[in-house]
Structure 1
């Protein structure tokens, strides 16, 4: 009995990504049980963007899942069944494949106290000095694993484990545009003013989202990011050029 259970568990583990309808208008591919799930997600997303099937209106990438939004004429049982079968093959083919390197960005950030209202909180929670928090954050190499929440908001993994802190007990009604934030193992920059509950430890003066540009978002899925400390005077000069 024990060996049968073990064998069954092994088969389930190797069944590949899960693919299933999600409501009437989407199909969800789940890579969470696969090796390098975010990389597999980005590989499949890129392939669907380059060669979208007839039923695909838009692929939407998450950290370890991908939703395929169906065209209006594809929202029926027959097409969903066909799409699930095809996407199962495509998803399996994406596992273990390198997504390649995205663009590399060096983003200026001012960590001055007046632009980092939660820097002291992060220092207290981690037992570090504020200077050490800034140094560790700058030393990180970050990967844009997901673009979401709002246009241009890149969820970037790569935060040093020593800087992993929870969200604020109460979110702010307004987070200023350009605010640099961390929570858990992620860092992000707010491209527009919005409510938010992440820890603000700096501010970026450059524009990350501009609908007049193509693409409108500076940081794309799979891009790599480093942060470079600047002074308040440098911040003001760059802000004036926005």
Structure 2
């Protein structure tokens, strides 16, 4: 699928698929690489999502018709793009207790023990499909349906940065203190967003995340090294044949 349509009075939307899948994500990332390479005058920004990519443009610089033709021409180059090899970023996570107040609820909802929830949640690599809704927040794919749990009926007014949550069949990590309705099962001491760091955002779409359970004591030790700037998360090349099962 490659469907182009208007997106407001200064936007163009390209639909790459109907369902969330690694293949659709790969096509979206390939097209984003092409946009970055071409640097067409008049394009202000582009916004990738699970199944589409929207381009915001300046209509005083380039017309919709011109942009549409540019996009259609660019489509022909997509198969020649070699995306960079993906990495797996290991995220140390302290599950349960005051850092994961909803772990028991997730376990109860799915007829599991808390230990089983942690084992399932930390047992696979999660593809980072896109970044949103706050700087550094990763939208992850690949969570097992065995631990899927509905959002909270009443959202919390404050969720601590680093909180790891579940919402339906999704899992993610809060990058900043915000309100939220996800079921919080743990917390990482890592800073997903730090405006004083270069680059400020820790994770990147196209890479993978692997949650690594740590104790309360280990959490405190890592937090101290994060604060003094000496901690670097473990990163390794992604190997599909070694990926865990998320079924």
TM-score above 0.5, yes or no: yes
What residue in structure 1 maps to residue 177 of structure 2? Answer: 193
**Where do 1:41-190 residues align within 5 Å?**
41-71=28-58, 73-74=60-61, 79-91=63-75, 93-94=77-78, 99-190=83-174
Is the CA contact (8 Å cut-off) linking 1:17 and 1:92 kept in structure 2?
no
What is the aligned residue count?
Answer: 224
**Residue of 203, 209, 219 corresponding to 1:225:** 209
Secondary structure of 1:58's counterpart equals: strand
What residue in structure 2 maps to residue 29 of structure 1? Answer: 14
Deviates more, 1:60-69 or 1:99-108: 99-108
Distance 1:119 1:172 in 2: 15
Query: Unpaired segments of 5 or more residues in structure 1?
Result: 1-15
Q: TM-score, normalised by structure 1?
A: 0.85
What is the Cα deviation at residue 169 of structure 1?
1.2
Secondary structure of 2:200's counterpart equals: coil
Secondary structure of 1:73's counterpart equals: coil
What is the Cα deviation at residue 223 of structure 1?
1.1
Is the CA contact (8 Å cut-off) linking 1:21 and 1:84 kept in structure 2?
no
Is the CA contact (8 Å cut-off) linking 1:44 and 1:94 kept in structure 2?
yes
Q: TM-score, normalised by structure 2?
A: 0.84
Query: Unpaired segments of 5 or more residues in structure 2?
Result: 228-247
User: Does 1:215 find its partner at 2:162?
Assistant: no
Q: Which digits, 9 at most, give the CA deviation of each residue in 1:136-175, with x for residues without a partner?
A: 0010110110101000001011111211222111111111
Secondary structure of 1:74's counterpart equals: coil
What is the Cα deviation at residue 81 of structure 1?
0.8
Distance 1:182 1:98 in 2: 33
Distance 2:113 2:34 in 1: 45
More helix by share: 1
Taking only aligned residues, the RMSD between alpha carbons, in angstroms, comes to 2.1
What is the Cα deviation at residue 72 of structure 1?
5.7
